[in-house]
Amino acid sequence: MYIITATLLVLSGAANSTENKLDNNIQLIGFSSDTEGLLFTLQGSNTIGARLAPAWAAAYLEAKGCDYVDIRPLENDNEVRVTGKRGYLSVYIDIHAHGSSTGFKGLYSKTADIALASRSIKPAEKLQLENYGDMSSFNAEHVVAIDGLAVVVNPSNPVSQLSVEQVAQIFSGEIRNWRELGGLNHAINIYARDENSGTWDTFSSLVLGKNHKLSPSSERFESNDLLSDTVARDIAGIGFVGLASVRRSKALAIQEQNSTPLSPEPLYVATEDYALARRLYMYTPAYGNKPEIEEFIAFAHSVAGQKIVENIGFISQNPISLTVDAVDSPRIYSALTQHGKRLSVNFRFLPGDANLDNKAKQDIQRVVDYLNKNKDDTVQIQLVGFSKLKATESRAKVISKLRTAAVKAELFRQGVVTDAIIGLGADLPVAANEGRSALKNERVEIWLFDKKHKHLLKEPSNADRINRLLSEAY
């Protein structure tokens, strides 16, 4: 009942209308008079299916005109039915949350209409579902929220930050006592998600990689919440959970190689700068879906749907502007932190080219809507691009400018004029420059900058660049 109450606050009485405009890009139309029974089934990730998907489903039914909306547990653990009344008729949505891989299996066996996943689709899954169209296309892959994979410990544990490598060494059993990390003299107890979990897949990929294997002494959990609560009771415990499940445990700041240690705070998770940030997905066939499914996906993307994301404890994709703490950075970037605000959106790209990925395509419209609602003639819109490390600094800078120009062009098509682009090459990495996470460094940030300080964003001269390189060398 708590979840339903939270969503009612978002929709503010929408259930009494047959056509509800929730924000400027979605309208929900009431059910036809003969609609009853099962609308569709969601299957997959426990991270999404435990609370977020039921909250969306409840709010969706309310907005469509249903009364007496309820979330009921089914016979099996981690399965619920969200029901609503329409006079004498009932409609319902089933949610089975047993891990990301089960969602894709459900699509293949036709027991699910929507796959919930806390990781992207694997090549083998994509091949198995090829009859549904390109499952990596914009029509099939829907990034519906951002989550931070939090490494959690007991609140009394004095350790506050770890590197990704240290986390890998702990979970593989190479580091066995907290004393080795500056903590108390306690043998480390390891708690991990189960094999079906997208949370486990993400942790395995981002942390363990090919060089480490999970210690056989670890205890495995199907539920994020249960794992977190177990860690909170164990002074020697450590685990990993979705951001919404930190609960009473303590989340550590995480560092990757030479990047700055970052806690899973909203800005750094929303922009995916945080080392263990991840995307939460819904996957549908690329074509041939029922109208209710298309509408539900649109609802999850909407401003109202993203407010529910925030209410549940994940990171909304609705843009906000935030002041950023000064960091050791190039002069231009320092000026941005001093006189500007950063939007909580990073535009990222398909591997190896300057084409926007599926999330970035959706974010273009979100940013356009935000800027149109918050017009300010004293502010210029500044795009700043970065790339991963290249053979030369000049090559890295060219690549960063090319990607920034692609974002500038997309925004211009939507009527948004931005200032001259800035490309900072491989400066300010947020991830390692090798491996899968290196893609995080290939990004475009968007800033709102006070026009009266515009002169501070002038490109540095060759002398400035030489002086900076010399200062870094010595």
| Average confidence (pLDDT) per 10 residues, the chain, 474 residues | 31 38 67 91 95 97 95 96 94 97 98 96 97 97 94 97 96 98 97 90 88 97 96 98 92 86 88 92 96 96 95 92 83 92 94 89 95 92 91 86 95 95 90 76 94 82 51 48
pLDDT at 71: 98
> What are the φ/ψ torsions at residue 405 (nearest 5 degrees)?
-65, -35
**Helices in 313-419 by DSSP H: which ranges?**
331-339, 358-373, 393-413
**Same-fold call for 2-143+281-312 versus 321-473:** no
pLDDT at 28: 84
Determine whether domain 2-143+281-312 maps to CATH 3.40.50.20: no
Q: Which two tokens stand for residue 95?
A: 């949610």
**According to the model, what pLDDT value does residue 11 have?**
38
Q: Name the residue among 20, 39, 33 with its Cα closest to residue 84.
A: 39
Residue boundaries of the structural domains of the chain: 2-143+281-312, 150-270, 321-473
**Structure confidence at residue 16 (pLDDT):** 36
pLDDT of residue 436: 67
Distances in Å between the Cα of 109 and the Cα atoms of 104, 106, 283, 340 are 9, 5, 14, 51
CB 221 within 8 Å of CB 196: no
- Angle subtended at Cα 297 by Cα 291 and Cα 298, rounded to the nearest 5 degrees: 90
* pLDDT score at 465: 52
150-270 placed in CATH 3.40.640.10 = no
Task: Report d(CA 237, CA 178) in Å as an integer.
Answer: 10
Q: Encoding tokens for residue 356?
A: 């926007």
Count CA atoms closer than 13 A to 150's CA, side-chain side: 31
146/255 Cα distance (integer angstroms): 19
Fold classified for 321-473: 60s Ribosomal Protein L30; Chain: A; (3.30.1330)
Q: In this predicted structure, what is the pLDDT of residue 440? A: 86
| Dmax (CA) of the chain | 78
Structure confidence at residue 448 (pLDDT): 96
Please give the C-alpha separations between residue 282 and each of 96, 140, 199, 286, 447, in angstroms, as whole numbers.
Answer: 13, 8, 15, 12, 29
Gap between the Cα atoms of 275 and 263, Å rounded: 9
Q: What is the pLDDT of residue 391?
A: 65
What is the model's pLDDT at position 27? 77
